A and B are shown apart, each in its own frame.
Chain A
């Protein structure tokens, strides 16, 4: 009887040691992407399930892909939108091991190497120190740096993206950012609402309206139908040199 109890305890100890061992990630997930596909690979110290969750919003990874139990995990995603940043998390059904992003190729957004973050921030926030009109940068920063409330982007894109033939939320956000840069470079009509710091911009020629928060991030971007829409917008007229965006 004692031998049986001893064996039983040993078996339980071995099993619990196996089951309770926390799976660990080896290195970081590797991503490779084309315009419409992406491959994400990662390694774990022991075999475990393969699950990748991904989406356009880091707070709502609403798509899921799964694979076999292994320690070398590979997931291939297809039918992705070009020039779009996707957020993902990797792990198994029970644990989330790491998160990351990748951007699909194509379009104007994901081409040339980007200037440093410091340079881009300085470029956006120091309008008063650069009074001379500057050329509009061809490439927008990542959407999370240009759009105010990321979780609202999908709705704004769904409603107004068609006004600009935008192919994706990122493309739409990039065009909104470009309007602000162009407004500053070409001194387009701008109104600043001192109450909450909202800057409203209007391109008379194209009939395009954009609104930006006090950090210079987009609130909305669309083409108004009403011809008097701009005249009725609140705020005082400002010039590019008067702008003082504050970091969020």
Chain B
């Protein structure tokens, strides 16, 4: 008899997630459905949608690699990191999203996390 999927194992997907670091509590989606940027600064990695990319020309992948090599520090000085925040777990969720085809751009390179 097929087992019903448990609610605990169902991944909650929100559009308000950062495609750079996987933080999923942004105030709004990074891009609206017509491509307009939210101009929000990700409190976790510091990427500003519509500025870091559109003005400074950095891609999600490049910025992610930089953030990882800088030690994956919490960026915001106005908002504290959630209790138990783990950047590696967060990047793992992002990689899972990428494999589900919901993210444009490459998932984080696991070798860089080691």
Contact = CB atoms under 8 A, between A and B. Distances in A.
A159 B48 contact: yes
B48 to A, nearest CB: 7
A198 B49 CA distance: 14
A174 B111 CA distance: 45
Nearest to B56: A225
Interface residues of B, number: 26
A195 B78 contact: no
Contact of A220 (B28, B33, B48): B48
Given A222-B51, A225-B55, A229-B55, A152 B78 contact: yes
Nearest to B42: A155
B96 interface: no
Interface string A191-212: 0010110100000000000010
Contact of B55 (A154, A196, A224, A234): A224
A53 B40 CA distance: 28
Contact of A234 (B36, B41, B48): B36
Contacts of B36: 193, 195-196, 198, 234-235
Given A211-B39, A220-B48, A234-B34, A155 B75 contact: yes
Contact of A60 (B28, B50, B55, B79): B79
B55 A219 contact: no
B42 to A, nearest CB: 9
Nearest to A213: B28
A231 to B, nearest CB: 11
Interface string A228-248: 010010110000000000000
A66 B76 CA distance: 27
Contact of B79 (A151, A159, A193, A226): A151
Interface of B: 27-28, 32-36, 38-41, 43, 46, 48, 50-51, 54-57, 75-80
Given A151-B78, A211-B39, 19 more contacts: A149-B40, A151-B79, A152-B40, A152-B43, A153-B78, A154-B76, A154-B77, A154-B79, A158-B77, A195-B36, A196-B28, A198-B36, A219-B39, A220-B39, A220-B41, A222-B51, A224-B51, A225-B56, A226-B57
